[in-house]
Amino acid sequence: MLNDHFKASSANLKKWKRIFRGVSASTLTILLAAGIITSHEDLAFSRENTEQVSSQVQTLEPEALSNEEQKIVDTVNQASEAVVSIANLQNVGSQLDPYSQYQSNNYFMPEEENRNLQPVGEGSGVIYRIDGDQAYIVTNHHVIEGAEALEVQLKNGETLDAELIGSDSLSDLAVLKMDSAGIEKALEFADSDKIQVGQTAIAIGSPLGSDFATSVTKGIVSGLNRSVPVDTDGDMTPDWDMNLLQTDAAISPGNSGGALINSAGQLIGINSSKLSARGVEGMGFAIPTNDVVDIVSQLEENGEVIRPVLGIRYTSLDRIHPDYRTEVMGLDQEELNGAFVMEVVPESSADKAGIEKYDLITALDGEEIEGTADLKQKLYKYRVGDKINVTIRRKSEEKEIEVNLDAAIEEENIQSTTPLEPLQPESEENENSLF
């Protein structure tokens, strides 16, 4: 009986093996037919099926652009001819090669002096003027900073050498010039004081470098007169507020120095920066054209921007001991506006006018000074040779002093960042030493 059962089980097992082999063969046949594993016959089937599907999907002639779209396309095509890519070339091997100083001084191998010049960064620029055989480009200072040579790539891919005319770190602007042969387009400056929030803003530049040259993004002007704090002296402390346009047109690294134009193709700003933070999107910034025109004119004429100075070293009031502020100056603890004078440069504008050490500058021509960065901001609205009324607080007494801005040396107007010992109230025992 057991043998009969075993024989039956064996027969059933053989039966299922035959069925499994049959299913496997059938499955293989289906796979072959489906084109997963192809033979000549199956491939013919697959192609026939593809041709049948393709015949049902067709491309159509795109609808004509609306008048508004066509205007934007035409504007971009024309304006992009004046937008270039800029390569910052530096001698990358000069700090590693012990013989590089001799090579650069032509002691040997003078013909290979620039053999290590390589691009260390790329940005964008705008051709704003063509004058005879020279074309002038405006870009950002940080695009060309430290460059030993500069190359400009035009929209058509042609690469030209460029010469730096001048740059200004405070405004983050620079001017280059190059041969104008074959260059026909320069962008016009629009009056940025008449720009309105909500109007079209188109950014053209080279995001991530020349591989994406003349890329275009479109948005609107999101805000005007945005005050963005920046660090201009590298001490990690903001000491200047840039006045910028805000746009939601996408701006990426490499767009710096590129064009922000309106729907008429006029330049309204030079793209400069974007706000990068988690959860923040669409906050790009550009230097308004009216500011650009002023700086560019000075860079063309002088190679630098000459600004007036008072001739003082100063700091913020919150770095002064609270007792000195309240007992000597008669201020409330919460009163922190103004710029506190730590030193007066001999023979400077401030010295000649009678400004003294430990004076608190509170206003220029009646405009209140909120802090140290604000002092620079308001002072640099004036020109060398202008006369201004400076309001000061000397201890607890307020005075108004007329100052002739007859100096123009940047180092004479310095915000002090050196850690201070707290100023103490004057006493009979320590009246000559306030630290």
The answer to whether residue 329 is domain-embedded is yes
What is the structure's pLDDT at 224? 96
Looking at 158, 179, 200, which one is the last position of a domain?
A: 179
What is the structure's pLDDT at 434? 28
pLDDT band at residue 290 under the 50/70/90 scheme:
very high
Are 253 and 171 part of one and the same domain? no
* Residues 242/292, Cβ–Cβ less than 8 Å: no
Are 103 and 201 part of one and the same domain? no
The answer to whether residue 46 is domain-embedded is no
Are 298 and 217 part of one and the same domain? yes
**Strand-pair partners of 391:** 363, 400
What is the structure's pLDDT at 374? 87
Percent of the chain exceeding pLDDT 90 equals 62
Q: For residue 364, what is the domain's CATH number?
A: 2.30.42.10
What is the structure's pLDDT at 235? 72
Lowest average pLDDT, out of 23-32, 69-78, 99-108, goes to: 23-32
What's the pLDDT tens digit per position in 121-149?
999 999 999 999 999 999 999 999 999 99
- Amino acid identity at 408: A
Are 161 and 232 part of one and the same domain? no
> Once rounded to an integer, what is the mean pLDDT over residues 361-383?
91
What is the structure's pLDDT at 30? 32
The answer to whether residue 2 is domain-embedded is no
Rounded Cα gap, residues 405 and 417, in angstroms: 24
Q: Which has the closest alpha carbon to 201: 265, 262, 132, 149?
A: 262
Kindly give the pairing relationship between strand 360-364 and strand 339-344. Answer: antiparallel
Residue tagged 């950014």 (tokens): 203
Are 295 and 198 part of one and the same domain? yes
Which residue segment(s) compose the domain that 173 sits in?
A: 85-179
Task: Give the CA distances from residue 283 to residues 202, 216, 228, 255, 337, in Å, rounded to whole numbers and listed in that order.
Answer: 14, 16, 12, 14, 30
The answer to whether residue 79 is domain-embedded is no
316: three-class secondary structure by DSSP? strand
Q: Which has the closest alpha carbon to 285: 297, 293, 295, 276?
A: 276
What is the structure's pLDDT at 49? 56
Are 226 and 283 part of one and the same domain? yes
- Label residues 307-345 b or e (16+ Cβ within 10 Å = b): bbbbbbbbbbbebbbeebbeebbebeeeebbbbbbbebb
> Once rounded to an integer, what is the mean pLDDT over residues 24-52?
42
Rounded Cα gap, residues 250 and 216, in angstroms: 9
What is the structure's pLDDT at 163? 97
Could you tell me how many residues make up the chain? Answer: 435
Q: Which has the closest alpha carbon to 287: 167, 144, 172?
A: 172
> Once rounded to an integer, what is the mean pLDDT over residues 165-193?
96
pLDDT band at residue 377 under the 50/70/90 scheme:
confident
**Strand-pair partners of 167:** 174
Rounded Cα gap, residues 230 and 188, in angstroms: 28
Q: What are phi and psi of 46, to 5 degrees?
A: -65, -45
* Residues 344/350, Cβ–Cβ less than 8 Å: yes
What is the structure's pLDDT at 167? 97
Are 140 and 215 part of one and the same domain? no
Q: Name the range with the highest mean pLDDT among 23-27, 230-234, 322-326, 369-373.
A: 322-326
Q: Could you give the angle at the alpha carbon of 400 between the alpha carbons of 399 and 402, nearest 5°?
A: 145
The answer to whether residue 1 is domain-embedded is no
Looking at 152, 179, 206, which one is the last position of a domain?
A: 179
Cβ neighbours, 10 Å, residue 244: 24
Are 231 and 159 part of one and the same domain? no
Tell whether the model's pLDDT for residue 388 goes beyond 70.
yes
Rounded Cα gap, residues 163 and 193, in angstroms: 31
Give the CA count within 13 Å in the CB-facing half-sphere of 241. 15
Q: Two tokens at 253? A: 């690294």
Are 294 and 337 part of one and the same domain? no
What is the structure's pLDDT at 1? 46
Q: For residue 230, what is the domain's CATH number?
A: 2.40.10.10
pLDDT band at residue 31 under the 50/70/90 scheme:
very low
Q: Which has the closest alpha carbon to 389: 423, 425, 363, 410?
A: 363
417: three-class secondary structure by DSSP? coil
The answer to whether residue 425 is domain-embedded is no
The answer to whether residue 428 is domain-embedded is no
Give the CA count within 13 Å in the CB-facing half-sphere of 270. 35
What is the structure's pLDDT at 232? 72
Q: What are phi and psi of 372, to 5 degrees?
A: -65, -40
Cβ neighbours, 10 Å, residue 143: 26
Q: Two tokens at 115? A: 């053999």
Q: Report the Cα–Cα distance between both ends of the chain, in Å, rounded.
A: 115
Looking at 270, 302, 334, which one is the last position of a domain?
A: 302
Rounded Cα gap, residues 91 and 119, in angstroms: 9
Are 217 and 278 part of one and the same domain? yes
Are 337 and 384 part of one and the same domain? yes
Residue tagged 């910034």 (tokens): 285
What is the structure's pLDDT at 113? 53
> Once rounded to an integer, what is the mean pLDDT over residues 262-275?
94
Tell whether the model's pLDDT for residue 287 goes beyond 90.
yes
Tell whether the model's pLDDT for residue 373 goes beyond 70.
yes
Tell whether the model's pLDDT for residue 272 goes beyond 50.
yes
Tell whether the model's pLDDT for residue 418 goes beyond 50.
no
pLDDT band at residue 61 under the 50/70/90 scheme:
confident
What is the structure's pLDDT at 55? 64
What's the pLDDT tens digit per position in 221-258?
999 999 888 877 677 777 788 999 999 999 999 999 99
Are 293 and 251 part of one and the same domain? yes
Handedness of CA 272, 278, 280, 282 (dihedral sign): positive
Kindly give the pairing relationship between strand 413-415 and strand 312-316. Answer: parallel
Q: Domain tally for the chain?
A: 4
* Residues 196/167, Cβ–Cβ less than 8 Å: no
Q: What are the catalytic residues?
A: 142, 172, 256
Task: Give the CA distances from residue 234 to residues 135, 254, 417, in Å, rounded to whole numbers and listed in that order.
Answer: 33, 22, 11
What's the pLDDT tens digit per position in 331-370?
998 999 999 999 999 999 999 999 999 999 999 999 999 9
Q: What is the pTM (predicted TM-score) of this model?
A: 0.74
Tell whether the model's pLDDT for residue 301 goes beyond 60.
yes
What is the structure's pLDDT at 236? 74
The answer to whether residue 282 is domain-embedded is yes
Rounded Cα gap, residues 406 and 395, in angstroms: 27
pLDDT top residue among 376 and 80: 80
What is the structure's pLDDT at 274? 85
**Strand-pair partners of 226:** 244
Q: Which has the closest alpha carbon to 166: 206, 186, 193, 139?
A: 139
